[in-house]
Amino acid sequence: MLDAQVFQRLGDFTLDTSLAVPAEGVTALFGRSGSGKSSLIRLIAGLGMPEVGTIRLGDTWLVDTRRRRWVPPHRRQLGVVFQEARLFPHYSVRGNLRYGMPRASRDAFDDLVDLLGIGHLLARTPGRLSGGEARRVAIGRALLSCPRMLLMDEPLTGLDGARKQELLHYIRRLARDTGVPILFVSHDTREIGALADRVALIEEGRVMASGPVDEMFARLDLGPRTGRFEASSLIEARILAHDQALCLTRLALPGMEAGEALSVARLEGAVGDAVRLRLRARDVGVAPSGAPPLPDVACIPATLREMGDEAHSPFVEVMLDVGGQALRARLSRDAIAQMELQVGHALQARLRSVTVSRHDMVVVT
């Protein structure tokens, strides 16, 4: 859908990369501070021009330096949302949303207002909105311009935990219900775990790996290179039951035996809904197959697929296969030696319920 190949020098920094964003879902552009995320997004949005390169959206050339082609930002059919909402302060929310809105969007107005939960804010001015509300309005305004793609540069930065969760929920709904593909810049693995379908990892001005989010989380080689990509896995679970009295939801994880469940804080979804779980490697333990159960600990039959080789560390990251999905665990060298673990061994993965917080779960259907 979007293909960019750009070269640009910015002082001592060089952006020299390719990026491909598919026509559906959420693609996260992830990298450390100073890796070139904003510079790349600016070139795509048309806020700068590469020295050399091409940017193509579907079959439309936005940039082709060899042919001296450069489409200005307002004609790129891209909706852009930045960290700060950049609303017009003297217009009401309704006025902000309608500003520059093409006729074609009139029918979509009510649905989008509904989808973003901003109906009760329409008469207010931006000064009377919370940070999260203002960003929802900014997203609405960007979408009402009928964009072919939405670019979001760290739209959740600076929001507190609850507002962040709320906005994450709305962005997920947008991606699912509007069909507009989203390119989302973030350096927060939680956000990426909750939102992204694909991840492009940028380092020193170059996208050095990209792929489906679960595969990217599962790559042992990416952890040390990115620093902040905290070792974790994304696992798709299903809601088995809710326990109102105990305020719990019971989840079935892939490969789990009948009767087993992981109990987590009560979730909103219905029985049978899929839940995306982000599990930190340090919270996953292993035990020999057939080891006795423990209260509040879920057991999943697993196979040891891969072992990391971080030298000079007391810990080793290992990759387990649970029901066909990849689960990362961080084990001490001591435990590995005592259990005589080797690739191919069958064992049990163990998860304590309390290690999975609300921020690590998102209902996806």
If DSSP codes are grouped into helix, strand and coil, which group holds residue 259? coil
Burial of 5 (0-12, 13-18, 19+ CB in 10 A): middle
Nearer to ligand ATP, 36 or 155 (CB): 36
CB 183 within 8 A of CB 81: no
Q: What is the DSSP letter of 108?
A: H
Structure tokens given for 31 = 């990298």
- Give the C-alpha separation, 179 to 175, whole Å: 6
**Considering beta carbons, is residue 18 or 77 the nearer one to ligand ATP?**
18
We find the least distance from the C-beta atom of residue 53 to ligand ATP, in angstroms, to be 15
Of residues 35 and 145, the one with the C-beta less far from ligand ATP: 35
* Binding span for ligand ATP by CB under 6 A among 34-42, 111-119, 291-299, 343-351: 34-42
Pairing type for strands 60-64 and 52-57 reads antiparallel
49 contributes a contact to ligand ATP by CB under 6 A: no
Q: For residue 9, what are its two tokens? A: 């020098």
37 counts as binding ligand ATP under rule CB under 6 A = yes
Size of the site for ligand ATP (CB under 6 A): 12
The residue assigned the tokens 């989840």 is 251
Nearer to ligand ATP, 13 or 88 (CB): 13
Q: Does 36 help bind ligand ATP (rule: CB under 6 A)?
A: yes
Q: Binding residue for ligand ATP (CB under 6 A) from 11, 259, 290, 292? A: 11
Q: Does 46 bind ligand ATP (CB under 6 A)?
A: no
Indicate the residue among 31 and 140 with the shorter CB distance to ligand ATP: 31
Asked if 35 is part of the footprint of ligand ATP (rule: CB under 6 A), the reply reads yes
Q: DSSP 3-state assignment of 192?
A: helix
Give the nearest distance from C-beta 61 to ligand ATP in angstroms.
23
Residue 155 makes contact with ligand ATP by CB under 6 A:
no
Shorter beta-carbon distance to ligand ATP: residue 150 or 299:
150
**9 sits near ligand ATP (criterion: CB under 6 A):** no
Q: Is the dihedral of CA 96, 187, 42, 104 positive or negative?
A: negative
17 contributes a contact to ligand ATP by CB under 6 A:
no
309: CB partners within 8 A, 6+ apart: 316
Choice between 34 and 293, CB closer to ligand ATP: 34
Count of other CB atoms within 10 angstroms of residue 355: 16
Smallest gap from residue 226 Cβ to ligand ATP (A): 12
Among 8, 27, 39, 233, binds ligand ATP (CB under 6 A): 39
**Strand 52-57 to 2-10 pairing:** antiparallel
SS3 state at 271: coil
Using rule CB under 6 A, residue 303 touches ligand ATP: no
Among 38, 77, 92, 105, interactor with ligand ATP by CB under 6 A: 38
**Which one of the spans 31-39, 169-177, 243-251, 305-313 is the region binding ligand ATP (CB under 6 A)?**
31-39
Nearest to 282 by CA among 222, 215, 233: 233
Q: Length of the chain, please?
A: 365
Burial class (CB in 10 A: 0-12, 13-18, 19+), 260: middle
The answer to whether residue 50 forms part of the interface with ligand ATP (CB under 6 A) is: no
Site string for ligand ATP, 177-206 (x = CB under 6 A): ----------x-------------------
Quote the least distance from Cβ 40 to ligand ATP, whole Å.
7
- Kindly list the distances between the CA atom of residue 155 and the CA atoms of 81, 227, 246, 303, in Å, as whole numbers in the listed order: 7, 22, 35, 39
Strands (E) located in 161-283:
182-186, 198-203, 206-212, 232-243, 248-252, 262-265, 274-280
Q: Is 342 a residue that touches ligand ATP (CB under 6 A)?
A: no
- Identify which of residues 31 and 285 has a Cβ nearer to ligand ATP in the complex: 31
Site residues (vs ligand ATP, CB under 6 A)? 10-11, 13, 31, 33-39, 187
